Amino acid sequence: MLHRHHAALALAAALAVACVGSNAHAQAPASPAPPKPATKPAAAAPAPAPAPQPTLLGQFGDWGAYTASPGGKKVCFALAKPSNSKTAPPNRPRDPTYMFISSRPAEKVRDEVSVIFGYGFKPNADASIEISGAAYAMYTQADGAWIKNAAEETRLVDAMRKGADLTVKGTSAKGTASTDVYSLRGLPEALNRVGQECK
CATH number of the domain residue 133 falls in: 2.60.40.1880
Domain count, the chain: 1
Task: Look at residue 70 and tell me whether its pLDDT is greater than 90.
Answer: no
Whole-model pTM: value is: 0.79
Residue 71 pLDDT level (bands cut at 50, 70, 90): confident
pLDDT for 30: 31
Tell me the average pLDDT across 6-34: 45
Query: Reading across the β-sheet that carries 165-171, which strands appear in turn?
Result: 55-60, 63-68, 75-80, 98-104, 109-116, 144-147, 134-141, 126-131, 165-171, 177-183, 84-88
pLDDT for 53: 84
Task: Look at residue 34 and tell me whether its pLDDT is greater than 50.
Answer: no
What percentage of the chain carries pLDDT values higher than 90? 68
Least reliable range by pLDDT among 22-31, 41-50, 131-140: 22-31
Taking Cα atoms as reference points, which of 164, 178, 194, 192 lies closest to residue 62?
Answer: 164
* Coil/strand/helix, residue 42: helix
Expressed as residue numbers, the domain containing 18 is: 2-197
